[in-house]
Copies of this chain bind each other. A is one copy, B any other.
Amino acid sequence: MTHHQLVNLIKQKQSFLCVGLDTDISKIPPHLLKEKDPVFSFNKAIVDATFQYAVAYKPNLAFYEALGTKGWESLGKTVDYIRSLNQPIFLIADAKRGDIGNTSAMYAKTFFETMDFDAVTLSPYMGYDTVAPFLEYHNKWSILLALTSNTSADDFQFFENGKGKKLYEKVLETSLTWKGNEQLMYVVGATKAAALADIRKIIPNHFLLIPGLGVQGGNLQEVAKCGLNKQCGLFINSSRGIIYASDKTDFARAAAQKAKEIQKEMAEILKKIFVF
* CB atoms of B101 and A126 under 8 A apart: no
Q: Does A182 contact B (CB under 8 A)?
A: no
Beta-carbon contact of A69 and B65 below 8 Å: no
Once the chains are docked, how many angstroms separate the CA of A156 from the CA of B171? 7
A104: Cβ under 8 A from any B Cβ: yes
Cα–Cα, bound, A144→B125 (Å): 11
Question: A65 contacts B156, CB within 8 Å?
Answer: no
Contacts of A261 in B (CB 8 A): none
Name the segment of A6-14, A30-38, A39-47, A158-166 touching the other chain.
A158-166
CB-based contact B107/A65 at 8 Å:
yes
A152 contact set on B, CB distance < 8 A: 126-130
CA distance A156 to B127 in the complex (A): 6
A72 surroundings in chain B (CB, below 8 A):
68-69, 72
Report the bound CA distance from A100 to B63 in whole Å.
12
B162–A167 touching, CB < 8 Å: no
Question: Closest residue of chain B to A102, judged by CB?
Answer: B22
- Give the number of residues in A that approach B within 8 Å (Cβ atoms): 58
Q: Which residue among A115, A148, A163, A171 has the maximum number of chain B CB atoms within 10 Å of its CB?
A: A148
As for how many copies of this chain the complex holds, the number is 2
Does A250 sit within 8 A of B, measured CB to CB? no
Q: Does A97 sit within 8 A of B, measured CB to CB?
A: yes
**Known contacts A97-B62, A161-B162; A127/B153 CB under 8 A:** yes
Q: A128-B152, A128-B155, A153-B127 are in contact. Are A66 and B110 (CB under 8 A)?
A: yes
Once the chains are docked, how many angstroms separate the CA of A103 from the CA of B65?
11
Chain B residues, Cβ within 8 Å of A73? 69
The interface residues of chain B lying within 8 Å CB-to-CB of A200 are none
Any B CB within 8 A of the CB of A151:
yes
Q: Is there an interface contact between A150 and B62, defined as CB atoms closer than 8 Å? A: no
Contact A150:B167 (CB < 8 A) given known A68-B72, A96-B98, A109-B66: no
Please tell me if the beta carbons of A103 and B22 are within 8 angstroms of each other in the complex.
yes
Contact of A99 with B159 in the complex, beta carbons under 8 Å: no
Do A156 and B161 form a contact, CB below 8 Å, given A100-B149, A100-B150, A127-B150?
Answer: no
Starting from the known contacts A68-B110, A128-B152, 17 additional A-B residue pairs (CB-CB under 8 Å) come to A22-B102, A60-B99, A63-B106, A65-B107, A66-B107, A66-B109, A68-B72, A68-B115, A69-B73, A69-B76, A96-B99, A125-B125, A126-B150, A126-B153, A126-B157, A127-B157, A160-B161
Interface of A toward B, CB cutoff 8 Å? 22, 24, 60, 62-63, 65-69, 72-73, 76, 94, 96-104, 106-107, 109-110, 114-115, 123-130, 145, 148-157, 159-163, 167, 170-171, 174, 216
